[in-house]
């Protein structure tokens, strides 16, 4: 199956086949083990006191679903041939489970980005009238709707089911996995927007980076940008420069990885590509876009600065100005302050 068009589903549904031998069962098990470990590590190392959001709940649901898939693969791999609830399971089902997960993950990038973007656009300026309990229930409901819709779309499309049956009947020693065009287009869009923003603010970004110095604040080493922009410069233009520095200060390795993958034309199977680090990368990008679009409506409260688990956006709005600073002797943990 080189490509399948899903007319009944929302979003583009187009996949590139990656043929691999059936004995990939062991390799799939190892890959899923590594992915689940990475998912839970990211969930543990993130900041704890983070404002609830749709993306946070979706990342948790993704980690749990990956863990469920890992347990299913492990159980099937160990027993090889067994019956459960009147159904017979063999190593063939390891490939089938992974195919279904890959197809489902592949069509969720657009809806997840859309819902998360709308969530931040509505809540970044505290314009939402929902209580915290109401927000949590709404996020849980949205996550369930997206997952159920994704699986329903995949399992209820006859062409997909028939193609899977044909592939596994006539290619018993291959397990075709699929790469999502949605994630590919999302990566291109993000890289292009970041590149355009850097090109537009290249002078301001370079000047701010050259003005960086390390000082001691509250007994901690702090990275301070002493650059003062022209008073005639538009506020949104100054903010864009600061947002870029904060975002790239955390996610530069990930941006470079995306550029390499895009220019090499690599096709990563969807069950690997949809992961918690990737979602948190998109999360920070969407938060930056929301801050820039609604910069005049942002309330400078401590709650607003706990929106992102990995990037601190606080000093993009509150400039650091303290005369009682001394040069830091040992720059350790670097805190970026614009």
Read off the pLDDT of residues 28-81 as tens digits, 9 standing for 90 and up.
888 889 999 999 999 888 777 778 889 999 999 999 999 999 988 888 777 766
The pLDDT of residue 256 is 94
Residue 194 predicted with pLDDT over 90: yes
Q: Quick check: is 244 in a domain? A: no
What residue spans of 12-53 are helical by DSSP H? 25-45
Residue 142 predicted with pLDDT over 80: yes
CA atoms within 13 A on the CB side of 247: 27
The span from the CA of 61 to the CA of 39, in Å, is: 11
155 token code pair: 């399992």
Q: How many domains does the chain have?
A: 1
Beta carbons of 230 and 141 less than 8 angstroms apart:
no
b/e for 170-203, b at 16 or more Cβ within 10 A?
A: eeeebbbbbbbbbbbebbeebbeebeebbeebee
Q: Which of 192, 215, 214, 196 is nearest to 205 (CA)?
A: 196
Residue 278 predicted with pLDDT over 90: yes
More confident residue, 297 or 228: 297
Query: 118-122, 163-167, 238-242 — which is least confidently predicted?
Result: 163-167
The span from the CA of 294 to the CA of 269, in Å, is: 36
- Mean pLDDT for 329-334 is 38
Q: Quick check: is 218 in a domain? A: no
The pLDDT of residue 117 is 93
Q: Give residue for tokens 């303290």.
A: 322
The pLDDT of residue 207 is 78
Q: What is the dihedral of CA 9, 14, 16, 21, to 10 degrees?
A: 10
More confident residue, 231 or 181: 181
The span from the CA of 63 to the CA of 55, in Å, is: 12
User: What percent of the chain is predicted at pLDDT more than 90?
Assistant: 28
Q: How many CB atoms lie within 10 A of CB 166?
A: 11
Q: Quick check: is 293 in a domain? A: no
Q: How many CB atoms lie within 10 A of CB 164?
A: 18
Q: For 219, phi and psi rounded to 5 degrees?
A: 65, 20
Q: Quick check: is 39 in a domain? A: yes
Q: pLDDT-derived band of residue 203, with 50, 70 and 90 as boundaries?
A: confident
- Mean pLDDT for 154-177 is 62
| Single pTM value for the model | 0.79
Report the first-to-last Cα separation within the chain, whole angstroms: 50
Q: For 267, phi and psi rounded to 5 degrees?
A: -110, 105
Q: Quick check: is 143 in a domain? A: yes
For 43, the domain range is 21-174
Q: Quick check: is 287 in a domain? A: no
Q: Quick check: is 5 in a domain? A: no
Residue 1 predicted with pLDDT over 60: no
The pLDDT of residue 314 is 72
In degrees, to the nearest 5, what angle opens at C-alpha 170 toward C-alphas 169 and 172? Answer: 70
Q: Quick check: is 170 in a domain? A: yes
Q: Give the DSSP H/E element, type plus range, for residue 17.
A: strand 15-18
Q: pLDDT-derived band of residue 185, with 50, 70 and 90 as boundaries?
A: very high
Residues 6+ apart with CB under 8 A from 338: 208, 225, 242, 245, 246, 315, 316, 319, 320
């Amino acid at each position: 199956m080189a490509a399948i068009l899903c007319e009944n589903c929302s979003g583009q549904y187009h996949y590139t086949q990656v043929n691999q031998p059936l004995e990939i069962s062991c390799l799939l098990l190892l890959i899923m083990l590594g992915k689940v470990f990475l998912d839970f590590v990211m969930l543990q190392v993130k900041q704890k006191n983070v404002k609830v959001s749709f993306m946070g709940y979706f990342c948790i649901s993704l980690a749990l679903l990956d863990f469920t898939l890992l347990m299913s693969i492990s159980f099937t791999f160990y027993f090889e041939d067994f019956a459960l609830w009147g159904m017979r399971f063999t190593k063939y089902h390891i490939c089938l489970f992974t195919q279904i997960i890959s197809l489902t993950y592949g069509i969720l990038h657009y809806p997840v980005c859309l819902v998360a973007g709308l969530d931040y656009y509505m809540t970044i300026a505290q314009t939402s009238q929902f209580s915290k309990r109401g927000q949590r229930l709404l996020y849980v409901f949205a996550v369930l709707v997206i997952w159920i819709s994704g699986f329903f779309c995949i399992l209820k499309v006859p062409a997909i089911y028939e193609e899977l049956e044909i592939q596994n009947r006539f290619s018993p020693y291959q397990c075709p996995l699929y790469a999502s065009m949605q994630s590919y287009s999302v990566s291109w869009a993000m890289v292009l927007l970041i590149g355009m923003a850097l090109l537009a603010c290249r002078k301001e970004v370079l000047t701010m980076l050259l003005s960086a110095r390390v000082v001691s604040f509250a007994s901690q080493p702090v990275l301070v940008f002493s650059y003062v922009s022209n008073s005639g410069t538009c506020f949104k233009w100054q903010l864009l420069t600061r947002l870029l520095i904060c975002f790239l200060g955390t996610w530069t390795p990930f941006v470079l990885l995306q550029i390499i993958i895009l220019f090499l034309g690599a096709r990563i199977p969807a069950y690997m590509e949809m992961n918690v680090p990737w979602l948190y990368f998109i999360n920070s990008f969407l938060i930056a876009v929301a801050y820039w679009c609604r910069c005049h409506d942002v309330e400078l409260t401590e709650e607003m600065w706990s929106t992102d688990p990995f990037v601190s956006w606080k000093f993009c709005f509150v400039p650091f100005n303290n005369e009682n600073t001394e040069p830091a002797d040992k720059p350790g943990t670097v805190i970026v302050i614009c």
